Structure 1
């Protein structure tokens, strides 16, 4: 009986502490999460929430270092290292967009679902899917990236490639493999191309300085139980930079360009796809081609740039903290933003970030400040805490779309999971941390981006 009384007293004290800490605030304006969840520990793998249906193929996404990952890993990269690489990618995207005049650009106006996995075991926070390539199909674990168009896998023979968990794809062992000629239409659409022995050669360059090159080819792609005939991809035979440190078989491009998986399959599955990026290493998400566009209450217009067609743009208009809209001038958001699964952290205009940081700190006064970490300058000391309460954060997009972020999309480690651009004129980026647990719809045909909370 005495032990029960002590337990009740402890619970009462905890409740009173919460009330005192948020005196005058609506508790619904805060989210509560255990400190252990900030460390992303996981011992088992949960399956994606998507229910199977006829004509739909589900392929899961996983954390690289978690139990769901099909790619074994030994040394997990530090958060600081991942953020340094992320900063290079964000800077590269901004440079690519520097020639776009004024804003994010002009609006342009049977399913396949593939599970997705957060790729922390591949030295980044990118997400992974597992597909089959060739005939017979060879299992390949690939990063997904909405900021890239050209898909590629490492192929035999490879003069400079990284070691990978899956078997190296051997074109000579696939009865359906074909290399494109230098004069083919597929070769002509590549931005960076060459010719060797009458075969089309491609080159890809990434924001962190990595490059890859090889023969541009086609073969059968297996997505779960569905197949894509004559799928165009790069057979990578040489790489440089951080690509040599990865353990994946390659990359699957989901951008808006002609070479991407989404564009190549639009005629079969429709001009819409969606994904849900899982929040923890022990959970799975999914990638769906031909996604249903109904059922998304929260939608915002999709902005497209004819100069940089790979990216899917949106217009962020406001930010709410603890249910209160911050006083940020509309002009601060005029450069627009893009949705990017390959960038980790959301980049905000400097004016908007300063307002967000100040408001968030005001709602976190019960926790001592901690030293900045890399690009994170709003950090807290959670020592001795079993759980923490954090102010809610919502992103408000054009068309009245309000996206109330999950707690996983607000705090990373012990810091506010946002970063500031150098000014208000640089392109904003909605990174994958803020997209976690949402089904994010890319309705290319309808010109909209949708959000559905709690999908994975």
Structure 2
């Protein structure tokens, strides 16, 4: 990870007031309470044409439990408390990947020296957004969960699954000695009894998937294809109730879709998570054709020991157009930008000041008891629309990201919580990313944010 010297931290503190004067957003936003409730009909995009600024390959992206999703599920949707419980497991996994040692001397996201579990943190129920692609010859549609916190992609290929590698004329099993196989690493990966490459992914709730690792033709769109996309064919699995066809890894290590397509798309991608479960967004491979014009940009932080994750350095938060009185050094442990974590985690010092300022702007609404990990909650009963203070995140370099109203409130609560201590790596969750086109230009080490993109 890039380091931040003590001198730079002093400079950041000295111009904190300058940043405050540069934040120029409206003081309040209107939140329709209906947007916080499940809808039965898929609505049209309301952003800037609902399209990215990239010239790469773009596929629609949907919340898997909403009416826009191609996944049909008769299972009962989890309660808010259950979602937050799973989210805490996910966040705990991400944070265990990074050490809180020496965080004052570094910009954060330093890899832990402790033994880190190889499990992902919870079941696939922690992941919320899906895309539909085609795999094999003849092409078979696959609706796959996306995850910036995973590298290895895989699909169900056991009996009754849509994709059968034996029926694809372009599928090639990888040998044990193939570089793509040796790069898998981890327990359970490597050689199978028949000399073919085998992968294994285990999850924190005990579910797991094991199978052959090979390559096949991947069609992102009718005109954008990847000829030798490497992925796992899940043949033995346990504990899955999920109705999707698999997982698409968008992490930063060698096995991810992003790394595999770097020669074509420049190791850059972006997505826009829709404001509600009843609207659509997009996933795009490739950088914006016009550069980062229209994006607020900041430097991307990476760790050599945890290459999957993408990070950024927060410097402050504004509420109602005014900066919260927290020194930039409080955020020096860095934050992971994660599509699979729901709620944003802030250092306790920052969260306390932020929550206090937000409550001050919500005096017209009665406070109610905490809901799981969310402790700043309100009574919106009988209200069709509520007025909430605007919230903006200020990143290194002065990038100001104004959050959508649906990126501030989650289940009538402020959609933020605190980490264990100020030295723990923070997380920017997917609620806060809603309606933004979030650009991950890994090749140029830049993160970007474009407002009202979907």
TM-score band by shorter chain is 0.7 to 0.9
Whether the 8 Å CA contact 2:52–2:284 is kept in 1: the answer is no
Distance in 1 between the 2:264 and 2:314 partners? 32
Distance in 2 between the 1:92 and 1:278 partners? 25
Residues 396 and 27 of structure 1: is their aligned pair in 2 closer, same or farther, counting only changes over 3 Å? closer
1:220 aligns with 2:217: yes
Whether the 8 Å CA contact 1:89–1:206 is kept in 2: the answer is no
Whether the 8 Å CA contact 2:109–2:333 is kept in 1: the answer is no
Can you list the C-alpha shifts for 1:6-33, whole angstroms capped at 9, x where unaligned? xxxxxxxxxxxxxxxxxxxx99301012
- Alpha-carbon deviation of 1:371? 1.6
Whether the 8 Å CA contact 2:302–2:309 is kept in 1: the answer is yes
Structure number with higher helix proportion: 1
Partner SS, residue 176 of structure 1: coil
Distance in 2 between the 1:393 and 1:54 partners? 27
Whether the 8 Å CA contact 2:65–2:128 is kept in 1: the answer is no
Supply the RMSD in Å over aligned alpha carbons: 2.2
TM-score, structure 1 length as denominator? 0.85
Partner of 1:162: none
1:265 aligns with 2:266: no
- Alpha-carbon deviation of 1:52? 9.2
- Alpha-carbon deviation of 1:168? 2.7
Can you list the C-alpha shifts for 1:306-350, whole angstroms capped at 9, x where unaligned? 010000110011011111111113332111011000111111111
Partner SS, residue 67 of structure 1: coil
Instruction: Please identify, of 398-407 and 196-205, the stretch whose mean Cα deviation from structure 2 is larger.
Output: 196-205
2:201 to 201, 204, 217: 204
Partner of 1:110: none
Partner of 2:135: 133
Partner of 1:274: 270
Q: Which has the higher contact order (CA 8 A, sep 6+)?
A: 2
- Alpha-carbon deviation of 1:375? 0.7
Residues 249 and 269 of structure 1: is their aligned pair in 2 closer, same or farther, counting only changes over 3 Å? same
Distance in 2 between the 1:321 and 1:300 partners? 21
Partner of 1:61: 61
Instruction: Please identify, of 167-176 and 47-56, the stretch whose mean Cα deviation from structure 2 is larger.
Output: 47-56
Residues 406 and 168 of structure 1: is their aligned pair in 2 closer, same or farther, counting only changes over 3 Å? same
Partner SS, residue 230 of structure 2: strand
2:39 to 20, 35, 41: 41
Distance in 2 between the 1:54 and 1:300 partners? 18
2:362 to 358, 364, 382: 364
Distance in 1 between the 2:217 and 2:82 partners? 36
Can you list the C-alpha shifts for 1:155-212, whole angstroms capped at 9, x where unaligned? 1359xxxxxxxx4311110001111111111111112213111011112234555432
Residues 202 and 27 of structure 1: is their aligned pair in 2 closer, same or farther, counting only changes over 3 Å? closer
Gaps of 5+ in 2: 1-23, 111-123
Partner of 1:438: 436
Instruction: Please identify, of 300-309 and 187-196, the stretch whose mean Cα deviation from structure 2 is larger.
Output: 187-196
Distance in 1 between the 2:203 and 2:294 partners? 32
* 1:303-322 equivalences in 2 (<5 Å): 303-322=301-320
Partner SS, residue 85 of structure 1: helix
- Alpha-carbon deviation of 1:46? 2.1
Distance in 2 between the 1:281 and 1:132 partners? 23
1:104 to 108, 113, 116: 108
- Which has the higher Rg, Structure 1 or Structure 2? 1
Residues 208 and 410 of structure 1: is their aligned pair in 2 closer, same or farther, counting only changes over 3 Å? farther
Partner of 1:236: 234
Partner of 2:163: 169
Whether the 8 Å CA contact 1:361–1:378 is kept in 2: the answer is yes
Partner SS, residue 94 of structure 1: helix
Distance in 1 between the 2:40 and 2:101 partners? 43
TM-score, structure 2 length as denominator? 0.85
1:397 aligns with 2:395: yes
Task: Provide the aligned length of Structure 1 versus Structure 2.
Answer: 406
